[in-house]
Amino acid sequence: MITAEDVETAVGLALATLGDAPAEKWENPAGTLTWTCWETAEHLADDLFAYAAQLGLRRGPVDRYVPFELIRRRPEAPDGVVFADRSSGPSGLLQVLESCGALLASMVRTAPPTARGFHVHGAADASSTAGMGVVEVLVHTHDLALGLGVPWTPPEDLCDRVLRRLFPDAPTDTPRWATLLWATGRGTLPGLARVESWRWYSGS
């Protein structure tokens, strides 16, 4: 099971890592993405907010994403509904991320067992929703760490739990963080083809 505490742990570790980044590097590309580090952090916050919103529905049909209006600020940037006030600087950006993480953790913690959030890869219960949020935090913090020039290695046990929950076909006898990077198209594993198009299995 992936829990609200796992979401809080992942977000807390990410904030501790990203808080040390030089302010002038937030416009660097985030790893291999076309997005800047600032845009990637906004996208991550938006993901956490969106998963919380999906899990919050109590009346059907739960067969599509909640229809928030999406905005894209430049052609190469991600679209979303959550944006940080640029004048607040990186510290304000990280507050937005922290707040959206807290929203998701709270929704996971309080959702009834019957709650399901729509996702194209399967309607997600609270545990799967928490897992999706954790994966987003872990891999996008990886992207951010590359762009910002800060180290990032999340706990192996947390990586293992999300792999087992959302990536049932991933190998189980390989290092967990390296395997999560491989499963999300960000790394390689010996003897295995690189993943060019990835998905998780969030259905419950």
pLDDT of residue 195: 94
202 burial type by CB count under 10 A (0-12 exposed, 13-18 middle, 19+ buried) = buried
What is the share, in percent, of the chain residues with pLDDT greater than 70? 99
Is residue 61 in a domain? yes
Per-residue pLDDT tens digits for 41-87: 999 999 999 999 999 988 766 788 999 999 999 999 999 999 999 99
Indicate which CATH number applies to the domain containing 98: 1.20.120.450
pLDDT of residue 61: 66
Is 94 in contact with 42 (CB distance < 8 Å)? no
Point out which residues pair with 71 in neighbouring strands: 80
Is residue 49 in a domain? yes
Is residue 187 in a domain? no
Half-sphere exposure of 20 (CA within 13 A, CB side): 10
Q: Write the CA distances from 28 to 3, 39, 91, 95, 150, integer angstroms.
A: 33, 10, 17, 20, 13
Is residue 156 in a domain? yes
pLDDT of residue 60: 66
Is residue 54 in a domain? yes
Q: Which domain holds residue 77?
A: 4-160
Distance CA 37, CA 95 (A): 15
Is residue 175 in a domain? no
Using DSSP, how many helices (H) and how many strands (E) does the chain show? 6, 0
Instruction: Please give the structure tokens belonging to residue 68.
Output: 């928030």
Is residue 69 in a domain? yes
Per-residue pLDDT tens digits for 81-119: 999 999 999 999 999 999 999 999 999 999 999 999 999
Number of domains forming the structure of the chain: 1
pLDDT of residue 109: 98
Distance between first and last Cα of the chain: 12
Is residue 168 in a domain? no
